């Protein structure tokens, strides 16, 4: 079955960077876009961007342009999301989510989430 | 950016009752709308895509309707395991956006 397994929780200081990984299994990694969505504590969902694992092409939400970098390593079927210049309001659970098999830009399935805490 | 407004913020119903959740878009998204269910402590799960199509494995008690700017998610008979926050999401325009969510509780 399709599965996305993310890296563990992180604690970072303001101004630092964090890199979250998302290992995919159960399907051909290069066939489906991978998206990243975050959720601040007690808040809603916010789309950050996506990567085409086939060619590495990316689309980022304007809010994160210049701070986010999405990459992938096809040899190990893993996608990465790096966020720099961390602030306290970047504290959130970060999810990877695969493009659904139905049509573009629906998310199914999702990873289990990675909590990133930004605190001095 | 397309803003999605969900109502009500919280819905408290008894088991077996019908739940009706609303999502309104700030401009037309055609039928490019999905619904997700997020149970406490879990990642979201896709329920409905393209406004009215159930994802694989989703019970028939969940249905979606609407087009343009007004959409509805209906749970025909609420069960305790349906306690969750439900989000709508559009893919009509970039950036992809979500509504603020409706929390469904059992009385």
Mean pLDDT of the B32-39 span: 98
- H, E, C per residue of chain B: CCCEEEECCEEEECCCCCEEEEEEECCCCCCCEEEEEECCCCCCEEEEECCCEECCCCCCCEEEEEECCEEEEEECCCCHHHCEEEEEEECCCCCCEECCCEEEEEC
* A105 interface with B at CB cutoff 8 Å: yes
Q: Are A117 and A11 contacting, i.e. CB atoms less than 8 angstroms apart?
A: yes
A108 touches chain B (CB under 8 A): yes
How far does Cα A32 stand from its chain's mean position? Answer: 14
Residue A1 has pLDDT above 90, yes or no: yes
Q: What integer pLDDT is reported at residue A98 of this predicted model?
A: 97
pLDDT computed for residue B72 by the predictor = 98
Cross-chain residue pair B98–A46, CB shorter than 8 Å = yes
Phi, psi of A17 (to 5 degrees): -120, 155
Residues in chain B with CB shorter than 8 Å from the CB of A103 are 49-50
% of residues, chain A, pLDDT over 90? 97
Contact B50 A111 (CB under 8 A): no
**CB-CB neighbors (< 8 A) of A46 in chain B:** 98
Structure tokens at A38: 């975050």
Rounded distance between C-alpha atoms, residue B42 and residue B64, angstroms: 22
Angle at A44 between CA A66 and CA A110, to 5 degrees: 80
- Give the rounded distance of the alpha carbon of B62 from its chain centre: 9
Give the count of alpha carbons within 13 A of A94, CB side only.
Answer: 31
Q: Output the average pLDDT for chain A.
A: 97
Burial level of B18, CB count in 10 A (0-12/13-18/19+)? Answer: exposed
pLDDT digits (tens, 9 = 90+) for A21-49: 999 999 999 999 999 999 999 999 999 99
Residues of A with Cβ-Cβ distance to B53 under 8 angstroms:
102
Interface list for chain B against chain A, based on CB atoms closer than 8 Å: 34, 36, 43-46, 49-50, 53, 55, 87, 89, 91, 94-101
Mean pLDDT of B33-44: 97
A15 touches chain B (CB under 8 A): no
CB pairs under 8 A between A and B: 59
pLDDT at residue A103 greater than cutoff 90: no
Which of A2, A6, A32, A45 is most worth mutating to test chain B (most B CB atoms within 10 A of its CB)? A45
pLDDT digits (tens, 9 = 90+) for B70-91: 999 999 999 999 999 999 999 9
Strand-pairing partners, residue B23, are B6, B71
- For residue B82, what are its two tokens? 């349906």
Task: Tell me what pLDDT residue A65 has.
Answer: 96
pLDDT category at A100 given cuts 50, 70, 90 is: very high
Residue B23 in this model has a pLDDT that exceeds 90: yes
* Residue A84, pLDDT score: 98
Q: What is the DSSP string of A60-79?
A: E-GGGTTTEEEEEEGGGTEE
Q: Which of B23, B95, B98, B100 best tests the A interface by mutation, with the highest count of A CBs <10 A?
A: B95
Six token digits for residue A84 = 């720099």
């Amino acid at each position: 079955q399709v599965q996305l397994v993310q890296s563990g929780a992180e604690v970072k200081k303001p101004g630092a960077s964090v890199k979250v990984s998302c290992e995919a299994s159960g399907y051909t990694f290069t066939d489906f876009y991978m998206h990243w969505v975050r959720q601040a504590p007690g808040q809603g969902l916010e789309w950050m961007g996506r990567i085409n694992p086939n060619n590495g092409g990316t689309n980022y939400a304007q809010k994160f342009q210049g701070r986010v970098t999405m990459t992938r390593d096809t040899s190990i079927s893993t996608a990465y999301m790096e966020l720099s210049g961390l602030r306290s309001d970047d504290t959130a659970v970060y999810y990877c989510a695969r493009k659904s098999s139905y049509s573009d830009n629906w998310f199914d399935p999702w990873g289990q989430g990675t909590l990133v805490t930004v605190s001095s | 950016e397309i803003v999605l407004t969900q109502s009500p913020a919280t819905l408290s119903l008894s088991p077996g009752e019908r739940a009706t959740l609303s999502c309104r878009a700030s401009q037309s998204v055609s039928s490019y709308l999905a619904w997700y269910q997020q149970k406490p402590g879990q990642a979201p799960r896709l329920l409905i895509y393209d406004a009215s199509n159930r994802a694989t494995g989703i019970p028939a008690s969940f249905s979606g309707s609407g087009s343009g700017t007004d959409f509805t998610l209906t749970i025909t008979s609420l069960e305790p395991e349906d306690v969750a926050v439900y989000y709508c999401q559009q893919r009509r325009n970039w950036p992809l956006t979500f509504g603020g969510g409706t929390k469904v509780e059992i009385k």
